Every structure is written in C-alpha cells, then in structure tokens.
C-alpha cells in the first residue's frame, strides 16, 4: 500500500481523515478527492490534535472548505456499519438510521426441548410440593406426649439405643369396643424394651410382664396448662399401673422401667389396639404358627393349627389371647406376642414390603395414626432417622427375652410375679453393658489391645490382707447412703477395718472407680477382688490422706453401684435364660 492508501498523503494527519457522521454518531474514514472513498466505517474515535466534529482536513485549528466527501454532502451516501464476518446480511435500514440485527428463529427441535424442559421443571416443582404437603400431613398425624425428663433426651446414632414400646388396653378407635377392660384408663398392658447394640450388630427385646410387682416412683407430669404435677409413686403394685392409673403418662412407665432395670430409655412409643390391626394390614398380613387349634371366646381368636396368615382383627385377637395357650396367663400370652413381633419384623424387612411404594405409604399412614411418641420423636424426619438405625439390625441377631420371674411369695393365690432375684439382675446388667443375647457372627479374632492387656495386668500380682487395706469411700452417683452401706459391709463382713466414709465425690461418675498410688497396688488389687471390680475400674494415680494422716486409696461409687457385696464386673456373655430369635418361627402351644 502506498503512502496515500495508508492515509499519509498530502501531509494529512491520519487522525484527521476520520470524521463524525451526525446521523450515525460514529466516525468514518474520509480520504482525499484523489483517493477512493472507503466504504468501511471506522471505530468510534474522539477528535484529536485540535480536530473536532465537523472539521475538515485543514491543519490544526484551520477551517476546511465544504467538500462532497464530508458526511451528508450532496450526492454522497454514508456507508453503513461494518458487519462481522459470516453474519447474515442486515435488513435495509431506514434512511439515516442504523440497521437492526435480525432475530434468529428457534429451530423446531429447540422449541420442543424448551417446552419439555419447562414442563419437567413444573412437574418436579409440583412433585416437591406434593411431597412437602404429604410429609406435613404425616407430621399432623403424629400424636406426642412429653417425656418429662424421664428419658436420656433421645437416641443417638453413635450409642446403643433403648426404645420403650407400650401397648395399652384402652378402647380407643372404631371397632374396639369389645376389647380390653370397659372404662380402662389405658394401662401398660404390653411393655417391651427394645435394646439395639452400639455397633448395630445385635438387639434384645425384653418383655416386661404386666402382672410383675414393682415400685412405681414419683412422676413429675406436664399438665395441659404447662405446669408440672408430681404424681406420687406406689410400692409393690402391678407394673401395668405405671400408665393410666392416677393419670400417669408414658413418662411414668419410663421411670418405672429405669427403677426396675437400671436402664433409662431413650424414647417411647405407645400403641393402641388399632396399631396391630392397621400395621398388619398395611404389610399384607404376617404368618404365624400354632401347634394346636385355638378357640378363645375372650379374644375372639378361632384358628386351626399350622401356619396361618393373619392381619387386621385376627392379628389383634392373636396377640391378645392367653386363656387358650400355655398355662393361660400373661406369661403365655407374651410368647404369642413375641412370635407375632418376629413375624412382623421379618415382613417389614422383606423385599416384598421395602420395594412396594403402596405398602410403604400405608405403613406411614398406619404408623403415624396409631402411635403416640415422645416429644423427641414427633416428626417424620426423626422417625425416619430412628428407622434407618433400627434397619441396620439383622433379625437373626434380635433376641426376645422375658424378665425372669418367680411367683409372688406374698400371695396365696398366684396372680402376680416378682423378678427372679438370681437371674433378673444378670439380664438387666447384660443389657446395660450392651452384651448380646444371641450368637452374633464373629469377625476374624483380633488380638487384645494394649489397653486391654494393661487392664488385665492390674488385677495380676500380690494382694494385701484385708486388714491392711486403707480406703476412703466416696459417693459419686450411687443412691444416697451407699457410701455408708459399703463402709459397714467392708468393716463388718470383709475385715477392711481401716476404711472410712469420705462423703460425696466432687463429681458424679457413671462407673465405680478405684484410684491408688504407686505403692498401693497390692491394696488396690485386694479391694478390687472384694468389690468385684474389673481392671478397667482401677486407675493408677495419687494416694490421698485419711483422717489418721496416713496414705489411702480412694473408692468412688458410681451410678453402676448396685449394693454392697454385689459384683461390679461387667458380664462378657449373657445369662442362660429362655429366649428366642426373630428369624425363627416358634409355634404357639
């Protein structure tokens, strides 16, 4: 390109060759008369070096004569704006105005895609809205009752779970007029404590007989106006009076269970007659087994022996019958109830139920309408979380056990029972210590950890004579008076004369501990033997000074303390009691 083509001919500054088109508001290239006029508009550019809009090519500050090359000059059209390469040709613009870029038309495929996407978004939103409304509907179905501080505060995912299941004999719901006692306030007719291990590998269902003689403790109860009323406890009464009697609520039954077993439930669920009927119908019925024909006019059960499929009214009659099975009492009925629950759990965990949306919806409806739960379980979300935890349990590792009992010696006519003093405490302790009652499949045997070896080693070695043991006994969570009770037992029964009552410990402990100094291991081993303490309870530390100014070991009684002379060594296996597992069918006799 020559100098003129580059805009440098005739000593003209290239900046002065761009002039403003007043019609378009853009600068355009104007060459001299001897050069071809560019049809390409230039970029917007402000006037430079003294040139302003409307000036010609005169030198700085000069006034140029009119020229036909100027924008808008007669006989000359202003070139249109430059198009991008490959862009469609613009429509003819109106005179003196820039042309508009044409609007692209969407293809038919894109239109369909856009319409489908919008429809799908609407469907998703509608489904989400429907799901929200249904969850709200289920939440509204749930009835709840305060736990009044009787629970642990609710189950936790990283701990063992204890759920109290209560079946009442109150005639609530349509069609239940012929069941239970007329005018019943709703006693604890059927009570089960469901324990699921911390690792979710095993569980235990402990049936508590309704005619078991227990002590019902004082029960703080929340009233409708928000105030608290303490319902006085009663001693040596039937367990079933822990609910309904004197306006007792499920929290009173929780306190009674804790008083009896030493186990504090995490949550409770209360079921009426309708729960059995609607839940079995929701899953399509369950299979039970009878070793003989049963015809019980009291429960309205009439079934032939063998395997039978039951639901609804028949299922309720099955769990309520007692006169036609076993010895005709409540203990015989418990066996039927355990068989029924086993069958129901197997059905709940079957693919036939879990893969059926219809059954799952029916279950959700039935469960939320028929159950009353504590205030820590009063939403579908919380119940779902609990269900997920319980769902990890294999039914073959779920054991049914009944509180070991003996006839009540205070009665001539045997109508009630009391806990078996030899085996009942062992059962309760095993559940507290999360010991399995069933043979759980063991993983590859692991070597003992260093901590376990150290605990075992603490019990090994020489032991002092009982008369040489100096110990201060503190109460760190045991019932009031436990320190003095232990002191009397140590001095009068075991010969630990150099012992004294140190009063209350500065803090409460869940487990009883024994702290000893470096030179007191022999004394500690002797006291651990007498108390039935494990190596884990022995804590090397510093000795204390007793009232005579001599060094002594410290025994702090924790919440696990069961009484002077009662061993505190946690069981490693469950006691040998009558039991059954949920994976097996037990035929009622």
- CATH number (domain holding residue 158): 3.40.630.190
Q: How distant is the alpha carbon of residue 145 from its chain centre? A: 19
Assigned domain for 49 exists: yes
125 class by beta-carbon count within 10 Å (0-12 exposed, 13-18 middle, 19+ buried): exposed
Q: What angle do CA 436, 440, 442 make, to 5 degrees?
A: 120
**In this model, does residue 443 exceed pLDDT 50?**
no
Give pLDDT, residue 498: 94
The tokens describing 82, both together, are: 């430059």
What is the three-class DSSP state of 230?
strand
What is the three-class DSSP state of 233?
coil
- 1 close to 46: Cβ distance less than 8 angstroms: no
H helix or E strand, kind and range, residue 259: helix 250-261
Average pLDDT for 85-96: 50
pLDDT band at 307 (very low <50, low <70, confident <90, very high): very high
Rg of the chain over CA atoms, in angstroms? 44
Q: Both 423 and 514 in a single domain?
A: no
- 38 close to 5: Cβ distance less than 8 angstroms: no
Q: How distant is the alpha carbon of residue 525 from its chain centre? A: 42
Cα separations in angstroms, 357 against 123, 130, 282, 343, 361: 19, 15, 11, 21, 6
Assigned domain for 166 exists: yes
Assigned domain for 102 exists: no
The tokens describing 128, both together, are: 């989400």
Q: Both 210 and 344 in a single domain?
A: yes
307 class by beta-carbon count within 10 Å (0-12 exposed, 13-18 middle, 19+ buried): exposed
What whole-number distance in Å separates Cα of residue 290 and Cα of residue 22? 104
Q: What is the pLDDT of residues 44-75, one digit of tens each?
A: 444 444 444 444 444 344 444 444 444 444 44
Tally of domains in the chain: 3
CA pseudo-torsion sign 230, 234, 240, 244: negative
pLDDT band at 574 (very low <50, low <70, confident <90, very high): confident
- Which residue, among 40, 184, 268, has the nearest Cα to 256 in the 3D structure? 268
Q: What is the pLDDT of residues 504-520, one digit of tens each?
A: 999 999 889 999 999 99
Assigned domain for 17 exists: yes
- Tokens 């040139």: give the residue: 51
**In this model, does residue 175 exceed pLDDT 70?**
no
The tokens describing 462, both together, are: 């020489």
Assigned domain for 369 exists: yes
- Which residue, among 44, 15, 27, 35, has the nearest Cα to 78 in the 3D structure? 27
| Host domain of residue 477 | 450-557
pTM of the model: 0.65
**Which range (80-94, 165-179, 436-450, 497-511) has the least confidence?**
80-94
Give pLDDT, residue 359: 84
The tokens describing 368, both together, are: 């939320």
Give pLDDT, residue 59: 39
Supply the angle between the helices 108-141 and 357-370 in degrees, to the nearest 10: 30
> Which CATH number belongs to the domain containing residue 542 in this structure?
3.30.70.2390
What whole-number distance in Å separates Cα of residue 145 and Cα of residue 143? 7
Q: Both 200 and 316 in a single domain?
A: yes
Q: What is the pLDDT of residues 249-289, one digit of tens each?
A: 999 999 999 999 999 999 999 988 888 888 899 889 999 99
Give pLDDT, residue 371: 87
Average pLDDT for 543-547: 91
Q: Both 307 and 401 in a single domain?
A: yes
**In this model, does residue 169 exceed pLDDT 90?**
no
């Amino acid at each position: 390109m020559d100098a003129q083509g580059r805009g440098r001919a005739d000593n003209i500054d290239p900046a002065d060759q761009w002039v403003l088109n007043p019609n378009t508001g853009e600068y355009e290239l104007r060459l001299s008369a001897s050069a071809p006029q560019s049809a390409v508009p230039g970029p917007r550019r402000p006037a430079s070096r003294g040139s302003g809009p409307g000036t010609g090519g005169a030198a700085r500050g000069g006034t140029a004569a009119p020229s036909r090359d100027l924008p808008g000059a007669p006989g000359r059209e202003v070139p249109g704006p430059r198009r991008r390469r490959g862009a469609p040709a613009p429509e003819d613009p109106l005179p003196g105005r820039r042309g508009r870029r044409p609007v692209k038309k969407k293809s038919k495929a894109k239109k369909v895609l856009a319409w489908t996407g919008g429809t799908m978004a609407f469907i998703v939103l509608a489904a989400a809205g429907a799901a929200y409304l249904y969850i709200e509907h289920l939440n509204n179905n749930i009835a709840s009752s305060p736990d009044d501080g009787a629970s642990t505060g609710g189950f936790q995912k990283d701990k063992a779970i204890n759920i109290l299941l209560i079946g009442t004999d109150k005639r609530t719901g349509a069609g239940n007029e012929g069941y239970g006692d007329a005018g019943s306030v709703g006693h604890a007719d059927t009570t089960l404590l469901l324990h699921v291990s911390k690792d979710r590998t095993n569980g235990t269902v402990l049936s508590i007989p309704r005619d078991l003689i227990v002590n019902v403790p004082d029960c703080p109860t929340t009233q409708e106006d928000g105030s608290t009323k303490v319902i006085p406890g009663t001693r040596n009464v039937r367990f079933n009076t822990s609910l309904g009697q004197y306006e007792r609520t499920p929290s009173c039954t929780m306190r009674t269970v804790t008083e009896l077993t030493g186990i504090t439930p995490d949550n409770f669920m209360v079921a009426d007659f309708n729960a059995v009927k609607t839940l079995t119908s929701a899953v399509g019925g369950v299979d039970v087994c009878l070793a003989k024909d049963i015809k019980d006019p009291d429960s309205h059960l009439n079934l032939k022996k063998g395997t039978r499929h039951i639901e609804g009214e028949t299922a309720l009659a099955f769990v309520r019958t007692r006169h036609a099975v076993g010895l005709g009492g409540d203990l015989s009925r418990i066996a039927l109830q355990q068989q029924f629950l086993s069958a129901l759990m197997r059905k709940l965990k079957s693919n036939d139920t879990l893969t059926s949306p219809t059954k799952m919806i029916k279950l959700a409806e039935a469960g939320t309408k028929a159950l009353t739960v504590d205030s820590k379980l009063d939403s579908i979300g919380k119940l779902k979380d609990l269900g997920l935890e319980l769902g990890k349990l294999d039914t073959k590792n779920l054991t049914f056990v009944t509180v070991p009992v003996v006839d009540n010696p205070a009665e001539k006519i045997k109508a009630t029972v009391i806990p078996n003093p030899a085996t009942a405490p062992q059962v309760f302790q095993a559940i507290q210590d999360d010991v399995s009652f069933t043979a759980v499949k063991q993983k590859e045997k692991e070597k003992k950890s260093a901590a376990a070896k150290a605990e075992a080693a603490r019990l090994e070695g020489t032991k002092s004579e009982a008369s040489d043991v100096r110990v201060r006994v503190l109460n760190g969570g045991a019932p009031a008076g436990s320190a003095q009770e232990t002191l009397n037992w140590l001095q009068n029964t075991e010969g630990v004369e150099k012992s004294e009552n140190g009063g209350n410990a500065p803090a409460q402990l869940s487990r009883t501990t024994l702290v000893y100094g470096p030179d007191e291991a022999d004394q500690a081993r002797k006291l651990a033997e007498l108390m039935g303490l494990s190596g884990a309870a022995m804590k090397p530390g510093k000795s204390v000074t007793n009232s005579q100014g001599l060094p002594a070991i410290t025994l702090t009684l924790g919440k696990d303390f069961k009484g002077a002379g009662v061993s505190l060594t946690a069981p490693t296996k469950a006691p040998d009691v009558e039991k059954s597992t949920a994976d097996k069918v037990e035929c009622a006799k």
